[in-house]
Amino acid sequence: MGLVVQKYGGSSVADAEGIKRVAKRIVEAKKNGNQVVAVVSAMGDTTDELIDLAEQVSPIPAGRELDMLLTAGERISMALLAMAIKNLGHEAQSFTGSQAGVITDSVHNKARIIDVTPGRIRTSVDEGNIAIVAGFQGVSQDSKDITTLGRGGSDTTAVALAAALDADVCEIYTDVDGVFTADPRVVKKAKKIDWISFEDMLELAANGSKVLLHRCVEYARRYDIPIHVRSSFSGLKGTWVSSEPIEQGDKQVEQAIISGVAHDTSEAKITVVGVPDKPGEAAAIFRTIADAEINIDMIVQNVSAAATGLTDISFTLPKAEGRKAIDALEKNRSGIGFDSLRYDDQIGKISLVGAGMKTNPGVTADFFKALSDAGVNIELISTSEIRISVVTRKDDVNEAVRAVHTAFGLDSDSDEAVVYGGTGR
């Protein structure tokens, strides 16, 4: 008998009908002779609605209390799902993240899992139950407070439980048929990928392909847990994310030169204007940002103006951290020494990802050519060995993604990619 960990995202359990549909699917897996652990997200857009509600009572809600509030979303779906499964004549028990042994650090709203002790889950499935676990949440080892793992964190819960339980497979069920060469909501001609390496998936996820959370992929790579991303609305095979290519029929799926195009409109740009061009300035700025526990993404420093010896430093960061970053820099203005700060949240990032880039020198030139043909202006550039990203105006992003997708021959000539549910929020 195998042990299967399945994760169902918010769009799969958006309403009572969705919960009943998912319950049937879980029972099928159990009937096939598996032990089943199902990780579940909050229903539909519940998490966003709870955040909106919190912001109505406090513009910057206290981290501890926000976590307490948000974890309620997953509790609702786990209990309803367990009820629906029992209604189908099977035994099920629901568990909070804390009960499931998901132990984290103490960083509220984006805690990291440091250990998983799934004793209660193991006992529950050994007794013949289907175990339902609330995703996205854990408990701090030090403070014993309830924590959340950051938006989309149920994916990480699933992979962490799969690793701790030594599961045979971790299935991530969502509202599209797998990982596509671009977001199917933006590119109708996106193609489903049969297999993608952890490395390429990590870059796609880190650069905005929210079909999988990047921390979940990091975790899966570290413990070598293959992930099968598929739709909870169709019976189709999805995408395998793993270290080695999968077999299909009698041949192996090949590593693509370009895996796909990711985009992200959740970042903002801060420009620190009038910084003295001397050693230690960048260190002072980014120490201030790091002390506020904010992760930054791209950085660019302008050439300093000869007359003044002053320069500008721009960097991008999640919009959600914008206020905090501005406040931290303002507080340290005299220590750092700068004239002013500019905040721009009308930016977007487009990234081309693929391991084949390493050995194909023309890729960067073709990427820029596609953007220029589409009339898209580039503001920032960053690269890694297997990725090239640019920042543009937010309004240009969708057009740019489609142009790049076509230019690299990624458009499918068959059916349009299906999005089964969800609001894309």
Q: Which residues bind ligand ASP (CB under 6 A)?
A: 9-10, 41-42, 47, 73, 135-136, 151-155
Q: How far is the CB of 10 from ligand ADP (least distance, A)?
A: 4
Sheet of strand 169-174, all strands in order from the earlier edge strand to the far edge: 92-95, 130-134, 35-40, 3-8, 169-174, 227-231, 239-242, 195-197
> Binds 47, which of ligand ADP, Mg ion, ligand ASP, none (CB < 5 to 8 A, cut-off by type)?
ligand ASP
Give the C-alpha separation, 380 to 377, whole Å: 10
Q: Among all residues, whose Cβ is closest to ligand ASP?
A: 154
Bridge-based pairing of strands 227-231 and 195-197 is unpaired
- Annotated binding-site members: 7-10, 47, 74, 174-175, 185, 210-211
**Residues 138/97, Cβ–Cβ less than 8 Å:** yes
211 is a site residue for ligand ADP (CB under 6 A): yes
In whole angstroms, give the CA distance from residue 230 to residue 251: 22
- In angstroms, give the least distance from the CB of 216 to ligand ASP: 9
Interacting partner of 61 out of Mg ion, ligand ASP, ligand ADP, none (Cβ under 5 to 8 A depending on kind)? none
Residues 19 and 49: beta-carbon distance below 8 Å: no
Answer with the entry of ligand ASP, ligand ADP, Mg ion, none that 215 interacts with (C-beta below 5 to 8 A by kind): none
Which is closer to ligand ADP, CB of 60 or CB of 236? 236
Residue 151 partner contact from ligand ASP, Mg ion, ligand ADP, none using kind-dependent CB cut-offs of 5 to 8 Å: ligand ASP
Binding of Mg ion at residue 152 (CB under 5 A)? yes
The two tokens of residue 298 are 């791209």
Residues 376 and 365 sit within 8 Å (Cβ to Cβ):
no
> Is 424 a residue that touches ligand ADP (CB under 6 A)?
yes
Hey, what are 5's tokens?
Answer: 């960990």
Per CB under 6 A, 236 contacts ligand ADP: no
Burial of 382 (0-12, 13-18, 19+ CB in 10 A): middle
Q: Hunting for tokens 């002013």 — which residue is that?
A: 340
Residue numbers belonging to the annotated binding site for substrate:
47, 74
Instruction: Tell me the CA distances in angstroms from 207 to 92, 200, 266, 343, one per residue in order.
Output: 37, 11, 10, 21
Q: How far is the CB of 205 from ligand ADP (least distance, A)?
A: 9
Closer residue to ligand ASP, CB minimum distance, 153 or 226? 153
Q: Summarize the annotated binding site for ATP as residue ranges.
A: 7-10, 174-175, 185, 210-211
Residues that bind Mg ion (CB under 5 A): 9, 152
Residues that bind ligand ADP (CB under 6 A): 9-12, 41, 152, 174-176, 179-180, 182-185, 209-211, 260, 419, 422, 424
